[in-house]
Structure 1
């Protein structure tokens, strides 16, 4: 797979992907959170065959499906066993979710969910690697969290999803 990334000033970022089968898709991530996926004809990389647009929440839901959070292909079981079912997930913190403006200590994710926040990518692009208990989670941050799949799903559902969806 070949991936080319480029900035789209005033719009966001563009990712051009050509798979091992020579399928080409382009993913545009808009600054407002929308995602577009464009699919191209095998022999014509200029004219898009189809386009699908997703909200941020829809894109994350699809990413969890593609990434194996919903269904784990049998072939991946041996890889996950090597890591004792460890999963690492990147999750963007939306506004008005229970985790916003709370410290890692207040969330007590290690005791309550048996997961670890291993990094916080702050909305100002500052990286907090191995964040301490005093680190405050803010809307717009991206959390890098690890743990077993079921524990991650519980924590995400209870701390990072707005009530009502």
Structure 2
């Protein structure tokens, strides 16, 4: 899974930086006026090897193509049918969330909610340069500001999100 970092660019927009499995990075700057700048970096490179700018409509069209709106590879059709009820979400823990200060085990996420925490994105994850805790154990305690990558059945996930986040 690719690591995605997000940064506010005051007066300009937002920047999203994606580190791919092969070590390359793609940076996208979304300007407040709707334009997008896209940069491609090779592993350990300080400068982009390529870049281009798109307007809002072009970016949305390209996003639709990449997201599979026009064509879905045949292999994915079988996978989608097999996991039609599976849902994977990226959820932000809010200050007011009932899970704050509670652990995965204490909440019984797997047993009581059929929810699996795949990863937690948080700069406070110890011994992790990328700020991600992969497959945290039952003692992991949730804190505000963390982003959870969770998986479960669609209905169970919907209930978990409405009750716990």
Match for 2:157 among 144, 152, 159?
152
User: Which residue number in structure 2 is paired with residue 59 of structure 1?
Assistant: none
User: Which residue number in structure 1 is paired with residue 34 of structure 2?
Assistant: 38
Give the strand-richer structure, 1 or 2. 1
Deviates more, 1:83-92 or 1:136-145: 83-92
> CA offsets per residue over residues 28-47 of structure 1, 9 Å max, x none?
6xxxxxxx68379xxxx798
Question: Which secondary structure state, in structure 1, belongs to the residue aligned with residue 160 of structure 2?
Answer: helix
User: Which residue number in structure 2 is paired with residue 103 of structure 1?
Assistant: 103
Q: CA deviation at 1:109?
A: 1.0
C-alpha separation in 1, matches of 2:101 and 2:6: 32
Q: CA deviation at 1:151?
A: 0.7
C-alpha separation in 2, matches of 1:13 and 1:156: 26
- Pairwise mapping of residues 112-123 of structure 1 onto structure 2 (< 5 A)? 112-123=112-123
TM-score between the two structures when normalised by the length of structure 2: 0.53
Q: Which runs of 5+ in 2 are unaligned?
A: 17-28, 37-52, 58-66, 125-129
TM-align CA RMSD: 3.8
The number of aligned residues is 113
Q: CA deviation at 1:85?
A: 2.0
Are 1:141 and 2:137 an aligned pair? no
Q: CA deviation at 1:91?
A: 0.4
Q: Which runs of 5+ in 1 are unaligned?
A: 16-25, 29-35, 50-66, 68-74, 161-165
C-alpha separation in 1, matches of 2:6 and 2:112: 40
Pair 9,131 (structure 1): closer, same or farther in 2 beyond 3 Å: same
Contact 1:123–1:142 under 8 Å retained in 2: no
